[in-house]
Amino acid sequence: MKIAIIRKKYTFHGGAEGFSQTLITQLAEAGNEIHIYAMQWEGNPSKNIFFHKVPVLTANSFLRDLSFAISCLFLLKNTSYDIIQSHDKTLYQDIYRAGDGCHLEWLRQRCLRTGLSGKLSIVLNPYHWLVLFLERMIFKGHRYHKILVISDMVKRNIMENYGVPSPDMELIYNGVDLEKFHPRNSIKYREKIRKQHGLLNSDFVVLFVGSGFERKGVQYLIQAVESLSDPVTVLIVGKGSEKKFKGLKKHQKIVFCGPQRDIEKYYAAADAFVFPTIYEPFGNVHLEALASGLPVITTKNSGAAEIIEQGVNGFVVERPEDYKVIAEKIRILLDGSTRDSMSREARSLAEKFTFQRYTEEIMKLYNDVIADQRKELKGR
């Protein structure tokens, strides 16, 4: 099968970009011919993978995203691929993968948690208007044959905000590399990473992984651990500024580690994973943590909450700003026997989300879309 995949760029610390890279590799290894349309890509070369550079204007994010969407339209409209799948908001595709969720819903959740100046900055930011325009063009303009959603939450968001009918959407949960992310990594990496950050093996360590600290709730995580009397260390891995959080740090050890290429080593060094997000379509980090044997604490505003069993392999908090509830769940995990039991259950849950399962479901979707398109052509 000849497949075009659209994604603006690949960076090693980007969860969505990393997922796209793994998908591309899996599809190519299965014998498909994959053509990547991106402004830049750092993935490993393969005999079945071809890169097409998309020309963009890079003066700012508004011009970048607008020019990328327009360029992809002109580059792909007269091509002969079996499937064109976009992982970004573009104007021409067979399958639109809503991996970034629904921007309108994210802005709504953000507005609920900000003051007047924050609301004004959202309204007056032309970039948000562009993203909403592109989103509306895709959903209301029916610029897709199928929308691929990565959680039921995202599916509901799109239905409620844009009136897209349920049959137009296909839910396929993400997959995870169960070998790369494994509890046995703790034997190899736990002590090394902890020493690197001045931690003892006996320290209780909470891990956060993600870029975009505001949306993903770093503030609430810090407030939660600072409200605990027990000593807790937090490792924050990802791209973002720590300046705005300095005033929140009081007596606990909060370490901003920056982006890390070998992220599996940090999961291996932790005891629990906490992700108090304001809005997250799913978040591959949840599966990576579960696969590494870490109990997960997240919020109902994450699509991954749909797979977490309360008190079995993690906890789901109703609202991210309820930091005292987050602290209460962290306190439960301070108990070693409880944590060990939940760790085993976490790994067991992750094993249901193999990349092989994901690739099989994607290929079935591709074949269904191709069959539907042929029927439509015959009916004309």
Interval 140-180: pLDDT, tens: 999 999 999 999 999 999 999 999 999 999 999 999 999 99
Rounded to whole angstroms, the Cα distance separating 207 from 222 reads 11
Could you give the strand order of the β-sheet that contains 83-86, starting from the edge strand earlier in sequence? Answer: 49-53, 33-38, 2-6, 83-86, 95-97, 146-149, 169-171
- Burial (CB < 10 A; 0-12, 13-18, 19+), residue 100, is middle
Q: Give which of 11, 5, 22, 19 is closest to 79, Cα–Cα.
A: 5
Closest CA to 293 of 353, 343, 350: 343
Q: In this structure, how many other beta carbons lie within 10 angstroms of the beta carbon of residue 101? A: 22
Q: In this predicted structure, what is the pLDDT of residue 46?
A: 74
pLDDT score of 16: 64
E strand or H helix that includes residue 148: strand 146-149
- E strand or H helix at 356, and its extent? helix 355-378
Domains recognised in the chain with CATH numbers = 2-175+354-374 (3.40.50.2000), 185-350 (3.40.50.2000)
Q: How far is residue 29 CA from its own chain's centroid?
A: 23
For the segment 123-127, the average pLDDT, to the nearest whole number, is 96
Confidence of residue 243 (pLDDT cuts 50, 70, 90): confident
Interaxial angle between packed helices 284-291 and 336-350, expressed in degrees from 0 to 180 and rounded to the nearest 10: 120
Q: Give the strand pairing for 95-97 and 83-86.
A: parallel
Whether residue 278 contacts residue 216, with contact meaning beta carbons closer than 8 Å, is answered with yes
Are 357 and 338 in contact, with CB atoms under 8 Å apart? no
What letter represents residue 267's amino acid? Answer: Y
pLDDT tens readout for residues 339-360: 999 999 999 999 999 999 999 9
- Residues 285-303 pLDDT 10s: 999 999 999 999 999 999 9
Radius of gyration from C-alpha coordinates of the chain: 21
Give residues with Cβ within 8 angstroms of 278, minimum separation 6. Answer: 106, 109, 110, 113, 214, 215, 216, 217, 299, 301, 320
Share of the chain above pLDDT 70, in %: 97
